[in-house]
Amino acid sequence: MAHMVDCNATSSAAARHRVTTHGPADAARTLLLVHGFGTDQSVWDGLLPLLAPRDRVITYDQAGCGNCDPALFVQHHYLNLHGFAQDLAALARALGLRDAVLVGHSFGAMVGVLATLEVPECFSRLTLIGASPRYLDDGDYQGGFKEEDIRRVYQSALANYREWADAFAPMAMGQADRPDLAQRFAESLKRIPPERALTILCAILQSDHRQALPRLQHPVQLLQTSRDSFVPQPVAEYMARTLPQATLRMLDADGHLPHVTAPQQVAAALHGFLH
């Protein structure tokens, strides 16, 4: 059963981010799920039934996404991922988390890394799904995008955001035999006001957090699909080499959102990592 966190003050961090808890309140373990770009906490709906029966699971909406308080999104604060990480660190403190497990997807994964560096006592280990510290190629580093690729993304999104969302969603989702999944993702993208979506997209594509990786001493599981058009496998291999305590697990799945396309595989990987 899911329920919103009971907050006496509507201005609290939990209320602003629409924090929802799932599973038994007295569970021995707590998981905090951090969604990625273009989605909100509902993106975890297929995974939650596989986790919540045994664990307490917390979901929330990041700034500018879902039902998060729109007043929270002050653009200059979210021009890079640090603003989102500060939100997560403050939320973890407000919820009194201690040794929780952080599960982050895509840009939410790097937000989780940065937040854990700020509040290391709140989390015991991390599972990062489709994570990337930098999307732009740099010498021997293969991020998956060249400068002209990123310029084309910006130009397309600026010219017609809704058309761009309709084109981006199936590319990111994969699963050509499940067009309904891409359609739902496209609708999720289009629910975000274009100016906010573009700010978040710029924050992601301009980011470079490679120097943060060696500082993270927590055990990390990296989950990477074998066919991801947004984060290539060399990025996952780079992270596995650079993080001090990391293991890389390849999923036999398609696309950038395996918690949507292959939730059983993601749940099995999580359970194996936590036991």
Say if residue 70 is exposed, middle or buried (CB neighbours under 10 Å; 0-12, 13-18, 19+). exposed
Burial code (b: 16+ CB inside 10 Å, e: under 16) for 224-242 equals bbeebbbbbbebbebbbee
Q: Is 105 helix (H, G, I), strand (E, B) or coil?
A: strand
Residues taking part in catalysis: 106, 228, 256
Distance between CA atoms of residues 94 and 137, nearest Å: 38
Burial code (b: 16+ CB inside 10 Å, e: under 16) for 141-177 equals eebbbeeeebeebeeebeeebeebbbebbbebbbbee
Q: Name residue 86's amino acid.
A: Q
Using alpha carbons only, what angle is made at residue 158 by residues 176 and 195, rounded to the nearest 5 degrees?
A: 100
Q: What is the DSSP letter of 243?
A: S
Distance between CA atoms of residues 200 and 122, nearest Å: 25
Helix (H) or strand (E) holding 84: helix 81-94
